[in-house]
Amino acid sequence: MRTAELERSTNETRITCSISLDGTGKSLIDTGVGFFNHMLTLMAFHGGFDLTLTADGDLDVDDHHTIEDCGIVLGSVFKEALGDRRGINRYGSFTLPMDETLCNVTLDISGRPISVCHCKLDRDTVGMMSTEMVPEFLRAFANAAGITLHVNVYYGENDHHRIEAIFKALGHALKEAVKITGDGVMSTKGMLEE
């Protein structure tokens, strides 16, 4: 089973997380930020991952540390659960409509982390989540997981829909990328970067 768990504590956050990449999409998420909980639940469901994540952060300051650190921890357990990445499809791409919004997430589990996010958001917050934290979470997750990640929201009018489309499409793209399709490493170099 491709599973991993991690506890991480700093002066700003305390986070515990476990993941099974070969799950059924069940999740138990409690970050103290309701809309972010909802987004991680959607990502796990559409990715087919079993995910447990609890965070106790300095939300009296704002949501930045909590959401960014959740990205770091989630990326770290994702990378650990993949192991040597032998046999994985490596690449994943998914285009998802969410009502009036259309979004594509394309990624490469390359070991070379980068995150590019093209998404215009108009509101400062959705629920208790700062919209500026969407690209921050994606960057933290991609860096910790060693993923090349490209997010493009082509159009949309509602920020809730734009963000939801990103997290759903991310789940689907990750599901495609981690699928076991062989027994070798998907690279002419014979290895994926560490």
Read off the pLDDT of residues 2-19 as tens digits, 9 standing for 90 and up: 999 999 999 999 999 999
Report residue 123 as tokens. 């509101």
Judge whether 20 and 1 are in contact, CB under 8 Å: yes
**154 closest CA partner among 92, 105, 91:** 105
Alpha carbon 160 to its chain centroid, in Å, reads 17
Percent of the chain having pLDDT more than 90?
91
What is the greatest pairwise CA distance in the chain?
49
> What's this model's pTM, rounded to 2 decimal places?
0.94
Domain ranges within the chain, ordered by starting residue = 3-178
Judge whether 24 and 48 are in contact, CB under 8 Å: yes
β-sheet bridge partners, residue 9: 14
**68 closest CA partner among 125, 143, 127, 18:** 143
pLDDT tens across 81-110, in order? Answer: 999 898 999 999 999 999 999 999 999 999
Is the domain covering 3-178 a CATH 3.30.230.40 domain? yes
**pLDDT < 70: residue spans in the chain:** 184-194
